[in-house]
Amino acid sequence: MEVGTKSIAGGFDDSGAYQVAFGKMNDRTMYVNTWQKSDAREQLNKIMKKGLLSLQKKALSPTTGGAGTAGYALVPIYVDPRLVDVSRKYTPLVELIPRVSNMGLTADYSIITAKGDAYTAGADGALPDVDDSYERGSVSIKFLYAVGRVLGPMQAAMPSYMIEGFNPNGSGMGQGNFSPVGAPNAKQTDVLLKARALKELEENLILNGDADTTATQFSGIVKLQATTNQRDLASAPLTWLDVEKSVQDAFDDGGRPKIAVASSSVVVDLRQIMIDMFRIAPSTDSLPFGIPTAIGLQTMCGVIPLIPSMFLSNVSGAKQIYFLDTDFIEMRVLQDMTYQELAQTNDSKKYMLKIYEALTMRATQFNSFVDNIQ
């Protein structure tokens, strides 16, 4: 009888199986003898478990078939189905500024710049008439676009995703947050991201648009307000008196500011000023629909909710806070956000999202701002 080991079909060496069970123990070694009170099975059990684990690793390892990212591994890559947009920005003014439908390619309005003075006169005295002064304002509607294209293979292969932090709500402070939205396929994902990009462009233009510098833009609050009721600090620190005086500027010109918007750095400055000056935490107030702002400024015009903007500068010496009478600020809209397919010339789907609109500020005298804050 042949004794020893030999190779069998498939290249399996039966000595390997022996080593799994008995390790380095010599062949024909007695490992259980009750009469001699010797029992090595507990030790052999440990050896066998270790050997089986080693055999399993050698037989099928996580890298079998190639590196995972190369697409050949037997263990596939499981990608987290959640997407997060790290470039996200709050866009509160898009919703807070009234949107008004507009016919035609210009938004036209009239303002009364001066009234003829009323006067007193004697009985049966002369009654000369007086004139009022009017001006016409006109703003051109501008066209905002976000264009996307999704290739056919991507549409067929890409799974569904959950876009986290997609829909902003609130003012950006307090209980404001971003809510998630589901994207069932590649095109829907792309459309959702383009929609957010378009809204962020709109928010930026509401504040920083400049039609004189870029003809395709509509002018925003910074450009339209210009130097009207400007309180220039020339890089000096902000004080509470600056806030009161600025609101007074708007009040004295007939305005009643309803909301304040500032860079986040100015919001932090104001919170510190209020704590130091009043020895209490800044009070809260609500925007329309009960949206908390975290800060309500107690002024001569009542409580003015303050919201931070991610589109105003935090650079020292260039920071700003605006007090706005939103009764006379409007987004004049020829066509609100619309989806439209574009011509298909290859294996892809091209589309655009568009908005036709412009910002109007019919009475900049009713607003005020503190400029160039340290």
Average pLDDT, the chain: 84
Question: Do 261 and 322 touch, CB atoms closer than 8 A?
Answer: yes
- Render pLDDT for 159-213 as a digit per residue (tens, 0 to 9): 999 888 777 665 555 445 667 888 899 999 999 999 999 999 999 999 999 999 9
- Render pLDDT for 19-57 as a digit per residue (tens, 0 to 9): 656 677 777 677 776 767 777 777 767 766 666 566 555
- Render pLDDT for 339-359 as a digit per residue (tens, 0 to 9): 999 998 899 999 999 999 999
CA dist 256 and 250 (Å) reads 7
Question: Do 307 and 92 touch, CB atoms closer than 8 A?
Answer: yes
- Render pLDDT for 56-77 as a digit per residue (tens, 0 to 9): 555 555 565 555 555 555 666 7
- Render pLDDT for 115-133 as a digit per residue (tens, 0 to 9): 999 999 999 989 999 999 9
87: alpha, beta or left? (left if phi > 0; alpha if psi -120 to 50): alpha
249: CB partners within 8 A, 6+ apart: 229, 231, 368
CA dist 350 and 44 (Å) reads 68
How big is the chain, counted in residues? 374
- Render pLDDT for 240-286 as a digit per residue (tens, 0 to 9): 999 999 999 999 999 999 999 999 999 999 988 988 887 766 665 55
CA dist 374 and 237 (Å) reads 5
Sheet (strand 177-183) strand order:
82-84, 161-169, 177-183
At residue 105, the pLDDT reads 97
* Mean predicted confidence (pLDDT) in 148-153: 94
pTM score, whole prediction: 0.78
Q: Could you tell me the domains of the chain?
A: 92-113+134-373 (3.90.1690.10)
